[in-house]
Structure 1
């Protein structure tokens, strides 16, 4: 079954090597072993079990256990914890037979599985934060470099007034700043210990439940929750929705970038490299491979988030079906989001920007996209509504007769009675119609500097 391998066939494309390892079979069992060791430490410190159990567990490694046997055992057991504990006990029985009965003392399967998932999530969030910091640093440099690099603004995929490439990048950065905050806040709420025993009362430990819990949390360096949360799944659901929001923003970046990379636009290009973006039959192709990852992830993630939300409705003290539905779903959310974020870093850090084409496209279809600028210049003379109607007529004339907007304006007596040639030219200067762009960019950069 190759459960020792951290890599599935599409992991190199949609995940990262680090995250694939965290959520591999090995990665999960490593964290389950860590839970059992920490539990033994806590129980020993509370004088519930004899000293030596934690050392016996510490001697066990993932390579000691048969992961395929554990996976197959789950078919009958309904979860991985039962065959895992059986395998762990078999090893300890062979080497320290007098200690085997104290393994997993007072805990239940969900305690080990949930806490292992929490530990996997904690490590993944740490890696996500590294990539979020990295892409943010790269965006700051590009935003400042391209603060005044003009290109058409586009609404409903049609040209609008000009924006700058730096402003578009600042929009991405602004959103990623919010995601960094969300991820930090979600981590603080959701990365907590799970330990409740059979029905969430720790009855098997008598009055020692709370002190053992504190020691267990300390051993794992996890916050101690107010109480066990076996069937209260808002923590995992919050992690899922937080990842979903991040994946959505990354998808928006992929959408923008791939549209600007179309052959007839080609204002930006993804990084070049040997065999990157090639076609099996068309030698000229330079496909937006990284953008496709961002977009595919944004398509897949909402369904996974929906599964996590649906799985919140669980029965009494142990879920039947909902809990089980979470296991691979949350893993996949972390895998996909991490892979998308890494792909976005590649897009941002090494993209090629064609400033000349951006500028040329401002003049497309006669530069009529600057009609708003002229309309507001006229509005100061004749009022907003009359100016809008007049510019609509002039713009249509320009398009019908294949004139530039400037030529059509100079042919209009009504316009020329109100605006001089100099005023018309000023209104048609795209660099003068950027509004508060500089302020918005400065706000985003300042927020990044504040951290």
Structure 2
């Protein structure tokens, strides 16, 4: 098995991450760091920190020169970070030492590495927002179409009261609506430029340090934090936490789909499913299972990042390396989860839902019966009476509706045993979710 399923020729399509996969390659990382170096030189030239002619030459060269990431491997192993090797290789390829000497002026490796990372994370969030909005549009249509389709609601895996399929879909989608709504604030609080020099003081830039950082932020379209964040991994952790929550929200849908498509329930049908090598009758919920697995991995990776969230002193190699091991995988977990969810085709099976509502003599209507009886007796007495009659249903094998009619002939029981009349706010929740999606 490959070291990562996302890079695997065998498993890559099972855990497909779509366009996001291209953001987490060695080539993409090198390109992002070169973009930072070129923009840094450009703004330094404009501010008179380096010769403007050299700044223009460096900026142009970062757009034209390509570096082979494998050629930087030895230097990266030696230095523990790819930037020194990248700077040396770029200066050599530029073949203009009088200009190349001003490359990386006053910056430190972490400035270039972290800022390049933020450029890629920015693009990741763009892709995820686009795909989440498309997924939400599909879920909204499904919820609205089936807002009043009754099915059993379950708590602790047992029948509770009737819900609507549309409300179940809405419960899958609401967390995603809120996650998309958080993105604007997340971008402001996390997509930051880093430019603080060797130990985070910006001393090499002199009194222009703050202005230079702001200019670099503007040139790259990132936020200016107004401070050093070398040893504050809050921006990374905020993005990582958001990604883990995306994967977890989608896993809720996956968990429900595994249960509702299983043999003996079959209240939902998947448009695509997997087969068994030996059992031709099997229709395995492969995609929902992928969602569950991705979320478990995402939660574990987010935990690893949190464990590295208190770096020692001004820079901590162990903490930083933990980010490199964990964050790209977490990003791809979230991207793969969204990609997988978008590929799902879920269809309700109304007949199976109707049959399930009448299982065990229709005792799913017990709560509705107790509230109707509470109009004629005390609530505790009504609950106790319904408990006793439910025992008779189990013992005698007769429907709850028949026994209730015989026991309380004086009570009007119309609508109590009609699930469509016992949905409460479920249809409204489904339609409210659809409205919220359209308003995003």
The CA deviation at 1:103 is 1.1
Structure 1 residue aligned with 2:80 = 78
Structure 2 residue aligned with 1:314 = 311
**1:335 match: secondary structure:** helix
**2:415 match: secondary structure:** helix
Q: 1:438 to 1:14 in 2, by over 3 A?
A: same
The answer to whether 1:45 aligns with 2:42 is: no
Give the Cα separation in 2 of the matches to 1:80 and 1:62: 20
Give the Cα separation in 2 of the matches to 1:163 and 1:63: 60
The CA deviation at 1:261 is 0.8
Q: Deviations over 1:22-80 (max 9, x none)?
A: 01111111101111111111111112222244434543569832211223322111112
Contact 2:39 2:219 in 1 (8 A): yes
Give the Cα separation in 1 of the matches to 2:271 and 2:132: 19
Q: 1:177-326 maps to which residues of 2 (within 5 A)? A: 177-272=177-272, 276-326=273-323
Give the Cα separation in 2 of the matches to 1:104 and 1:351: 53
Q: Deviations over 1:113-166 (max 9, x none)?
A: 100111111000000100111111111111110011111111111112111111
Q: Deviations over 1:413-432 (max 9, x none)?
A: xx33x42xxx3342111111
Give the Cα separation in 2 of the matches to 1:15 and 1:192: 28
The CA deviation at 1:410 is 3.6
Contact 1:270 1:290 in 2 (8 A): no
Contact 2:192 2:222 in 1 (8 A): yes
Give the Cα separation in 1 of the matches to 2:225 and 2:328: 22
Structure 2 residue aligned with 1:439 = 428
**1:259 match: secondary structure:** helix
Contact 1:151 1:162 in 2 (8 A): yes
Contact 1:32 1:116 in 2 (8 A): yes
Structure 2 residue aligned with 1:384 = 379
Give the Cα separation in 2 of the matches to 1:16 and 1:344: 11
Q: 1:384-403 maps to which residues of 2 (within 5 A)? A: 384-403=379-398
The CA deviation at 1:363 is 0.9
Structure 2 residue aligned with 1:26 = 27
Give the Cα separation in 1 of the matches to 2:278 and 2:63: 48
Q: 1:67-216 maps to which residues of 2 (within 5 A)? A: 67-92=69-94, 95-216=95-216
Contact 1:136 1:173 in 2 (8 A): yes
Give the Cα separation in 2 of the matches to 1:394 and 1:257: 33
**1:208 match: secondary structure:** helix
Give the Cα separation in 2 of the matches to 1:214 and 1:426: 66
Contact 1:56 1:96 in 2 (8 A): no
Contact 2:193 2:223 in 1 (8 A): yes
**TM-score for both structures, normalised by structure 1:** 0.92
Q: 1:449 to 1:64 in 2, by over 3 A?
A: closer
Give the Cα separation in 2 of the matches to 1:122 and 1:397: 62
Unaligned residue ranges in structure 2 (runs of 5+): none
Give the Cα separation in 2 of the matches to 1:245 and 1:187: 16
Q: 1:71 to 1:163 in 2, by over 3 A?
A: same
Give the Cα separation in 1 of the matches to 2:58 and 2:27: 20
Q: Deviations over 1:202-248 (max 9, x none)?
A: 21122232232222112211121111210011111111111122211
**1:117 match: secondary structure:** helix
Number of positions where the alignment pairs a residue of Structure 1 with one of Structure 2: 435
Contact 1:53 1:102 in 2 (8 A): yes
Give the Cα separation in 2 of the matches to 1:218 and 1:305: 30
The CA deviation at 1:254 is 0.5
Give the Cα separation in 2 of the matches to 1:15 and 1:243: 16
Contact 2:50 2:102 in 1 (8 A): yes
Give the Cα separation in 1 of the matches to 2:358 and 2:113: 60
Unaligned residue ranges in structure 1 (runs of 5+): none
C-alpha RMSD of matched pairs (Å): 2.0
Q: Deviations over 1:151-209 (max 9, x none)?
A: 11111111121111111111222221111122332122100101101011221122232
**TM-score for both structures, normalised by structure 2:** 0.94
Larger deviation, residues 399-408 vs 374-383: 399-408
Give the Cα separation in 1 of the matches to 2:154 and 2:57: 64
